[in-house]
Chain A
């Protein structure tokens, strides 16, 4: 095969509703093409992180090359690109899809088209991908592939004549699927002789080789020894090697036009290589960078504090270690009266925050408290100075604030027409303004909104999914900063303000939120020796109140024939439980109280 000829390359990703069998189909493809022998199969080969496997979600992108000998006698190079599956990583998804010409849309033959099928199909169609529908699980007695085909045509407006019926379990139909990929997905276009133009899909850090970038080449070729420049970051490096994952790494002489593979950059700073950046020759650059690049800016900031202040240094070391493979992670030291020393950490979104916190706790054995998420506010002071505020504690006194601006997003939501009312309602509740509504087809409507980022990060996505029964897809990008009437809501426990519980909120929402938060904290904070009043306040004005009643009885009176050890063990167990709580003044506060804002009943 002539590597300059892109007609034998197919770049695609596999998308599906959860549990419709994306992973098993990926595994069967690797098996049938002898990329991985059966005995080496561990299920979900592509998801390498523990947490990814446990949660069944993909966090990082991944690309595996598969060689397929087709019925026409030729050998084709398939690059199977796995994409992250959550709105926090919407940008990473868009870059992964930009590296593909096609997508295999997996639909369960027993379940039919479901919500994520629709939202994923929308994402793929928006990226102008060729779509190969695959109807999976046809081995099951309850499979009804013909009806599912009709659904695909009716609900997704995707022609289903070419839909392939497969069983990821038995392997039936996988061969037909591979043939369909050859015939239905366009080969990549590009010019091998032109100056290099390659998209960075992902990067990871290797202790010995520095940063390794996963790339898709649109023009030109890369080989060891090339001098390359990253057009957005501006940094140059000497290529230390190129190769592909099969899924074990295989070094090659060259990656050329249309191909997907990895480039060893030798760079020591993980943050230097950014997803979406364009690689080109240092001495013979292409005219312009690939479109769609966004700086990976943290969207949301939370305080992360060790419960035991002695763990501060350990937490910093742990963050340093995580950042090596997650360059989007940024932090700065933060001090809280209630929680002591910690860090204000920036995240791509709340799922990202949860995953990072869980990894810190699990992999580094730390007990941590995360505080209420905040965005980056621009505060204009009366003296004309503008400061960026990422933590409610840093907000200047009200008398010194002229006005506050908050980040707004342009959000694009695609839903079936039946749900536009529900989406409107949700938008109103979240201070969003509809800017446009476009009927894409009989089955889908695109709604565009301007929405404050602070509203989107809290629970907007979960609410959107639940109120549209999962049918909505969401994409967003940063718009601008706009003035808003924002206030700082403080929480007082036993009359003392707890800085780590403060929250910046729109003034119209302050009252209901304060009430909700006081009620939620009442549920979360266990009864203590003394009554604990919980108050919500703006400035000096108390706007909500609840009370944790004092515990009245806590005694194990029964003694089993002098078995004192048993009693002592109970006391020791109670003491252990207290260690997991943070003493704020005289009040023992459980970890989850500091994220109560996320659990307030709407």
Chain B
């Protein structure tokens, strides 16, 4: 397996949003500059290290996420240029927040070879934006969107449903106003209250802030209606794209392809052979691999800025197969019959049949014939909404008992 996807993590924001528990520090001004001056060279060194090891040669998608990568400003262009010196990706996405994105940065990024901007819009209702601690207004978000479009990027927008104060009407309006701006990709995420976040603490005092699952279900259904009507195709539980604009990088995650993560808190996944080859770049990995001869797949998460500490997770071949089935069920295509057949060799045909039967009996999945004629087990409408149940059934195949 070669590495086809590269993720770079920028763990800084101008301010952390109230719902966010992802690794990011909210910094501004000179504090931010000092932090970046420390962080960016290490990131570049790490890119070079992988490049020298030949690990980036076949990378065809790059995703720069955060945090808020655009807090780097023009330095972002340098990073992209450095990556491009090692590979020739067809898709380079950069996450951006409206308050730190404008026309000149857009042009610079386009010049450096960024092809796609993923914009954190979240909502087009200003009260809702304030409620979750966003630093921008809806007007600023739309302006950023136009800048990105004008610079020639594929533009994707993230939206969130179940926000404090959000109503069916406000959600519909957010969707309609966004669709009118013609982004080519939209992601819809239901808000989750993560332990320890300011929003979760507030919700303890104000139970009305706890998002209603029913309301979120309504919002998810409304999104599908509106977006499909506007020509989008739902190719993943949370992702909608105009034809030809699905995010190739995210698809790599769902289809079991190898990916590398660089930067603090970034995650990567490689197969055994690749892990053996790259063990020298991950302190502690060689010993771990020796102790786990059955490991067929390794996932790692970088725990520090200096890339000296990592968490490793080793999966057996059986677990890797179950994980691929679980992730495949996130896609509208689902899982091909041949892949299920392949899984029977490792998980037993009885267990696989049971999983297929359970998912169909519960109305979570159904058999469909793809255009090419391949038979696939694909999620139903219900399977989208009750994803955890569906994914749990297939991840359950990892457990021999």
Residues of A within 8 A of B (CB): 529, 551-565, 567-568, 570-572, 574-575
A557 touches B217 (CB 8 A): no
C-beta contact mask, B82-99 vs A, less than 8 Å → 1, else 0? 000000000000000000
Instruction: Give the chain A neighbours of B392 by CB distance below 8 A.
Output: 571, 574-575
Closest Cβ of chain A to B137, distance in Å, is: 23
- A selection of 28 A-B contacts at a CB cut-off of 8 Å is A529-B362, A552-B214, A552-B385, A553-B190, A553-B213, A553-B386, A555-B237, A555-B385, A555-B387, A555-B388, A557-B189, A557-B237, A557-B238, A558-B192, A560-B22, A561-B9, A561-B63, A561-B261, A561-B267, A562-B253, A562-B259, A562-B261, A562-B268, A568-B323, A568-B326, A571-B326, A575-B392, A575-B396
Given contacts A562-B261, A562-B268, A568-B395, contact A529 B63 (CB under 8 A): no
Q: How far is the CA of A570 from the CA of B326 in the complex (A)?
A: 13
Closest Cβ of chain A to B41, distance in Å, is: 21
Q: Give residues of chain B (250-276) contacting chain A, Cβ–Cβ below 8 Å.
A: 250, 253, 259, 261, 265-269
* B184 in contact (CB, < 8 A): no
B389 touches A529 (CB 8 A): yes
Identify the 6 closest CB pairs spanning chains A and B, nearest first. A555-B387, A553-B217, A557-B238, A552-B217, A563-B267, A553-B213
* B216 in contact (CB, < 8 A): yes
Q: How far is the CA of A559 from the CA of B391 in the complex (A)?
A: 14
B213 touches A552 (CB 8 A): yes
Q: How far is the CA of A463 from the CA of B245 in the complex (A)?
A: 66
A565 touches B384 (CB 8 A): no
Instruction: Give the chain A neighbours of B386 by CB distance below 8 A.
Output: 529, 551-555
Closest Cβ of chain B to A20, distance in Å, is: 35
Chain B, interface SS category: mixed
Instruction: Give the chain B neighbours of A562 by CB distance below 8 A.
Output: 5, 7, 253, 259, 261, 267-269
Q: How far is the CA of A372 from the CA of B384 in the complex (A)?
A: 39
A556: contacting residue among B192, B313, B396, CB under 8 A: B192
**Smallest CB gap from A566: residue in B:** B267
Instruction: Give the chain A neighbours of B238 by CB distance below 8 A.
Output: 557-558
* B188 in contact (CB, < 8 A): yes
A571 touches B395 (CB 8 A): yes
* B299 in contact (CB, < 8 A): yes
Contacts beyond the supplied A551-B213, A552-B386, A554-B213: 5 A-B pairs with Cβ under 8 Å: A529-B386, A553-B220, A554-B389, A555-B388, A559-B250
Instruction: Give the chain A neighbours of B152 by CB distance below 8 A.
Output: none
A555: contacting residue among B63, B268, B269, B384, CB under 8 A: B384
A563 touches B192 (CB 8 A): no
* B51 in contact (CB, < 8 A): no
Instruction: Give the chain B neighbours of A551 by CB distance below 8 A.
Output: 213, 386
Instruction: Give the chain A neighbours of B114 by CB distance below 8 A.
Output: none
**Smallest CB gap from B22: residue in A:** A560
**Smallest CB gap from B213: residue in A:** A553
B253: contacting residue among A558, A564, A572, CB under 8 A: A564
Chain A, interface SS category: loop
Q: How far is the CA of A564 from the CA of B328 in the complex (A)?
A: 12
Closest Cβ of chain B to A596, distance in Å, is: 23
Closest Cβ of chain B to A555, distance in Å, is: 3
Q: Which of A557, A572, A574 has the most CB of B within 10 A?
A: A557
A554: contacting residue among B261, B323, B385, CB under 8 A: B385
A559 touches B387 (CB 8 A): no
What count of chain B residues pass the 8 Å CB interface test? 43
Closest Cβ of chain A to B380, distance in Å, is: 13
Residues of B within 8 A of A (CB): 5, 7, 9, 22, 63, 65, 188-190, 192, 213-214, 216-217, 220, 237-238, 250, 253, 259, 261, 265-269, 299, 301, 313, 323, 326-327, 362, 384-389, 391-392, 395-396
Given contacts A552-B213, A562-B267, contact A557 B188 (CB under 8 A): yes
Q: How far is the CA of A570 from the CA of B389 in the complex (A)?
A: 11
A558 touches B214 (CB 8 A): no
B189 touches A558 (CB 8 A): yes
Q: How far is the CA of A570 from the CA of B387 in the complex (A)?
A: 12
A563 touches B190 (CB 8 A): no
**Smallest CB gap from B239: residue in A:** A557
Instruction: Give the chain A neighbours of B259 by CB distance below 8 A.
Output: 562
Instruction: Give the chain B neighbours of A553 by CB distance below 8 A.
Output: 190, 213-214, 216-217, 220, 385-386
Q: How far is the CA of A572 from the CA of B398 in the complex (A)?
A: 11
Closest Cβ of chain A to B291, distance in Å, is: 18
A554 touches B387 (CB 8 A): yes
Instruction: Give the chain A neighbours of B301 by CB distance below 8 A.
Output: 563, 565
Q: How far is the CA of A413 from the CA of B253 in the complex (A)?
A: 70
A564: contacting residue among B192, B265, B266, B299, CB under 8 A: B299
Given contacts A557-B189, A557-B387, contact A564 B237 (CB under 8 A): no
Closest Cβ of chain A to B195, distance in Å, is: 12
**Smallest CB gap from B319: residue in A:** A568
A559 touches B213 (CB 8 A): no
A564 touches B190 (CB 8 A): no
Instruction: Give the chain A neighbours of B237 by CB distance below 8 A.
Output: 555, 557
Closest Cβ of chain B to A457, distance in Å, is: 35
**Smallest CB gap from A527: residue in B:** B213
Instruction: Give the chain B neighbours of A556 by CB distance below 8 A.
Output: 192, 387-388
**Smallest CB gap from B394: residue in A:** A571
**Smallest CB gap from A575: residue in B:** B392
B388 touches A564 (CB 8 A): no
Q: How far is the CA of A465 from the CA of B63 in the complex (A)?
A: 65
**Smallest CB gap from B214: residue in A:** A552
Instruction: Give the chain B neighbours of A563 by CB distance below 8 A.
Output: 267, 301
Q: How far is the CA of A376 from the CA of B239 in the complex (A)?
A: 62
**Smallest CB gap from B393: residue in A:** A571
A561 touches B7 (CB 8 A): yes
Instruction: Give the chain B neighbours of A564 by CB distance below 8 A.
Output: 253, 267, 269, 299, 323, 327
Closest Cβ of chain A to B117, distance in Å, is: 17
Instruction: Give the chain A neighbours of B385 by CB distance below 8 A.
Output: 552-555
Instruction: Give the chain A neighbours of B217 by CB distance below 8 A.
Output: 552-553
Instruction: Give the chain B neighbours of A572 by CB distance below 8 A.
Output: 395
A570 touches B388 (CB 8 A): yes
Q: How far is the CA of A404 from the CA of B387 in the complex (A)?
A: 52
Q: How far is the CA of A11 from the CA of B316 in the complex (A)?
A: 70
Q: How far is the CA of A561 from the CA of B220 in the complex (A)?
A: 22
Instruction: Give the chain B neighbours of A565 by CB distance below 8 A.
Output: 267, 299, 301, 313
**Smallest CB gap from B362: residue in A:** A529
Q: How far is the CA of A572 from the CA of B268 in the complex (A)?
A: 21
Closest Cβ of chain B to A338, distance in Å, is: 22
B190: contacting residue among A557, A559, A567, CB under 8 A: A557
**Smallest CB gap from B190: residue in A:** A557
Q: How far is the CA of A496 from the CA of B323 in the complex (A)?
A: 36
Q: How far is the CA of A568 from the CA of B387 in the complex (A)?
A: 12
**Smallest CB gap from B188: residue in A:** A557
Q: How far is the CA of A568 from the CA of B267 in the complex (A)?
A: 14
Q: How far is the CA of A574 from the CA of B216 in the complex (A)?
A: 19
Instruction: Give the chain A neighbours of B327 by CB distance below 8 A.
Output: 564
**Smallest CB gap from B5: residue in A:** A562
Instruction: Give the chain A neighbours of B9 by CB distance below 8 A.
Output: 561
Instruction: Give the chain B neighbours of A557 by CB distance below 8 A.
Output: 188-190, 237-238, 387
A574 touches B388 (CB 8 A): yes
Q: How far is the CA of A182 from the CA of B327 in the complex (A)?
A: 80
Q: How far is the CA of A558 from the CA of B384 in the complex (A)?
A: 13
Instruction: Give the chain A neighbours of B391 by CB distance below 8 A.
Output: 567, 571
Q: How far is the CA of A560 from the CA of B20 in the complex (A)?
A: 11
Q: How far is the CA of A560 from the CA of B301 in the complex (A)?
A: 11
Closest Cβ of chain A to B236, distance in Å, is: 9
Instruction: Give the chain A neighbours of B362 by CB distance below 8 A.
Output: 529
A561 touches B266 (CB 8 A): yes
